[in-house]
Structure 1
Amino acid sequence: MAETERPERIRLGPPDMLDGRTLVPVTVGGHHLLLVRDGERIVAAERACPHEGADLLLGRCVGGRLHCPRHLASFDLQDGSVSPGWSFRALRLFDIESASDGLWLRMT
């Protein structure tokens, strides 16, 4: 698909798909992502920790940070930056739009 033909957003599911949960796995275009609720805000993140691939679904979200279950590193949910003391790349984050017709992954 040409760059100009990509959709601006992809519907993930109903607006209540997190239904009180903090972490929900989704697959979009073959990519494994994790929906993360931080208060009223919802973001999508890559599901595998960039350090050694730990499943972040097994982690936890506290105070605006997603904590890896394996190495105790954590990621800022605003920009994906890793906690001090770690020297690997930031976690990839994606914007989520919540609308009356569902949760949408924003591609722009």
Structure 2
Amino acid sequence: MAERQPARIRLGPADLLGDRTLLPVVAGGQHLLLVRDAGRIVAAERACPHEGADLSLGHCAGGRLRCPRHLAWFDLEDGSVSPGWSFRALRLFPVELASDGLWIRLT
């Protein structure tokens, strides 16, 4: 049996983030955070996996998203949490930039 691909969901126009680094969005019923870092855009779950802090209030720099509550940070390549913290990685979703806007596949 072939594995079913998740549906593509259009997030909005290509310039949806404008000049922002972080933008909260809802896609497929999930609260996500679009993150622009070093010319790329990724989507992450919006709530910190530690205690649910709103990561849209955090800060992004150097490929890392910092939680505003406990100052732990997440690597935007694989979602891993900074050393010294023992909770699961942040869920990340690739964002596709197409001629008709930004798209995501949720798994």
For the superposition of Structure 1 and Structure 2, which TM-score range results when normalised by the shorter chain? over 0.9
Q: After superposition, where does 1:66-85 map in structure 2 within 5 Å?
A: 66-85=65-84
Question: 1:106 offset after TM fit, Å?
Answer: 2.8
Task: Classify 1:5/1:67 alpha carbon distance in 2 versus 1 (closer, same or farther; 3 Å).
Answer: closer
1:57 is paired with a residue whose SS is helix
Q: Can you list the C-alpha shifts for 1:80-108, whole angstroms capped at 9, x where unaligned?
A: 00000000000000000011100000347
- The C-alpha deviation readout for 1:21-47, integer Å capped at 9, x for no partner, is 000011012110000000211000000
Cα 1:95–1:5 shift into 2, 3 Å: closer
Flag structure 2 segments of 5+ consecutive residues without an equivalent: none
Q: TM-score, normalised by structure 2?
A: 0.93
SS where residue 53 of structure 2 aligns? coil
Paired letter, 1:33: L
The two structures have a TM-score, normalised by structure 1, of 0.92
AA paired with 2:92?
L
2:97 aligns with 98
Question: What is the RMSD of the two structures over their aligned residues, measured on CA atoms?
Answer: 1.5
**Partner SS state of residue 56, structure 2:** helix
Task: Name the % identity.
Answer: 76
Long gaps (5+) in structure 1: none
Name segments (4+ residues, structure 1) moved above 4 Å: none
C-alpha distance in structure 1 between counterparts of 2:54 and 2:31, whole Å = 10
Separation (CA, whole Å) in 1 of partners of 2:38 and 2:10: 21
